[in-house]
Amino acid sequence: MKKPSHLLGLGFMLPALIVVVLFFLLPVFMTAGIAFTNMSTDTGITGGAYELTPNTIHNLRTQGVDNNLLAQLETDVYRIDEPGLAALATDMGDKLAKELGDTHGGVTFQSRRELERAIKKLKNKPRSTRKLKKAAAFFKRSILNQRFETESEFVSATRNLGLDLAPEHQEVLSKASYTGWTWTTENFSLMTKLPSTLRIAGNTVIYVFFTLTFNVSFGLFLAITTFYLPGKAAATFRTIWFLPRILPPVIYVLMWKWLTWDTGFISTFFGQFGVPAKNWMLDTNFHAWVVIILINGFVGASMGMILFSSAIRAIPAPMLYASEVDGATRWQQVRYIILPQLRWPILFITSYQTLSLLTSFEYIFLATDGGPGKATEVWALSAFHQALANYGGNLQYGYGAALALVLVIIGIIASVGYLRVFNFKELVARPRIEQ
């Protein structure tokens, strides 16, 4: 039997576990599930029906389906059946309906004119052309642009046209006509075939590598330099450099736009020297990348600065005093005392910032939206565009989820790699003095 203290501990952990399941594990599992579907705006998310449209027939024709079969599906036929006879009896009387049923019941006419000719030969035929056409209209049968809730209804409708389809043809036709989502692995196949995938992956590598390098190195630089400043001055500088982290992203990016617009500060300043005004953020791909890296870099560096500063202040002061007595310079203190004891903070910042940069896109979205010409379109932003802001209007939920799932897998691999590089087992081992 567990001790009450253990149960109390579980009770305190329960809210955290619920949060982890609801806001981390459940979204990941849902993303993984949707990634293996063709779910989109067209298919909806609750299921679909069966509907044969001209666009469906065009797609089937490009897939090599028999043209004669497709022509029959496109053509209206007139079939003498019970529903049509019942409607005819209600509108024009039982005599005409009975005579037509006895004479041509179950017969399929390939055109309205053929049926009208057959009706004209009846004893109880309609007396006017208008009524003749109206009588023929009761037997018009077509599955084009008709919605069927189940596959059995759709198959039955094709048979009512007089079509005796082979099972494999019926399966192809049903699959092409289904408007709902289905399970598939085509998202990942499409990902490997699209030329844009390689470009987006390359953009992501550039973005993560250079921004991460800036984040860690500049954060370390700020932490070390402010450590050697007087207390009040160090606190002032840390507060100033922390502003990018606490500012709302919209306001922060708007300040950068004001700085780089063709009417912004940079253009105004260089205009005094005869330099033509231009948008320094979007005029070239290189400028766009520089601005994107700086925008994200200052945000990440501010967080690194705070964590590294706290870690440096936790280093026992006698170690630094002893090094000064031994004649160590500031650089030697940094190299041999400070940096070796920052392995944990560096591991955390590197891992956290890598995962954050892989999955974040809000600053790129607000600054360039992937431009110019998708030069700064990274993987996470592409997933957002595909699933939630598609330029074509048809949101591809399944493909966007597949892109996101790839990021999850890459993030897990990167985390494991960082733990091995930084020798995680040694970091969590008991101090040697206690062994």
End-of-domain residue from the set 124, 154, 179: 179
Whether 402 is covered by a domain: the verdict is yes
Pairing type for strands 108-109 and 77-79 reads: antiparallel
Whether 14 is covered by a domain: the verdict is yes
Are residues 373 and 250 located together in one domain of the fold?
yes
Whether 189 is covered by a domain: the verdict is no
Are residues 320 and 378 located together in one domain of the fold?
yes
Whether 41 is covered by a domain: the verdict is no
DSSP letters of 67-82? HHHHHHHHS-EEE--H
Whether 188 is covered by a domain: the verdict is no
Are residues 123 and 226 located together in one domain of the fold?
no
- Give the pLDDT score at 427: 65
Whether 422 is covered by a domain: the verdict is yes
- Give the pLDDT score at 153: 87
- Give the pLDDT score at 47: 76
- Give the pLDDT score at 4: 64
Are residues 159 and 87 located together in one domain of the fold?
no
Tokens of 255: 């300040």
Report in angstroms the alpha-carbon separations of 271 from 262, 286, 322: 10, 21, 55
Number of domains making up the chain: 4
> What parts of the chain have a pLDDT lower than 50?
none
Are residues 151 and 273 located together in one domain of the fold?
no
Reported as a single tens digit per residue, the pLDDT across 62-82 is 888 888 888 878 778 888 888
Q: Which domain holds residue 123?
A: 82-141
Nearest to 368 by CA among 248, 275, 266, 260: 260
First-residue to last-residue Cα distance in the chain: 33
Are residues 7 and 105 located together in one domain of the fold?
no
Are residues 130 and 168 located together in one domain of the fold?
no
Are residues 305 and 353 located together in one domain of the fold?
yes
- Give the pLDDT score at 163: 73
Nearest to 377 by CA among 400, 361, 396, 357: 361
Are residues 386 and 422 located together in one domain of the fold?
yes
Report in angstroms the alpha-carbon separations of 356 from 43, 293, 303, 351, 361: 32, 14, 12, 8, 9
Are residues 155 and 230 located together in one domain of the fold?
no
Nearest to 244 by CA among 255, 233, 234: 255
Q: Are 368 and 292 in contact (CB under 8 A)?
A: yes
- The answer to whether the pTM exceeds 0.85 is no
Whether 40 is covered by a domain: the verdict is no
Task: Report the CATH number at residue 396.
Answer: 1.10.3720.10
- Give the pLDDT score at 196: 92
Are residues 280 and 312 located together in one domain of the fold?
yes
Report in angstroms the alpha-carbon separations of 335 from 109, 222, 288: 92, 15, 35
Are residues 206 and 346 located together in one domain of the fold?
yes
- Give the pLDDT score at 381: 96
Whether 184 is covered by a domain: the verdict is no
End-of-domain residue from the set 155, 179, 203: 179
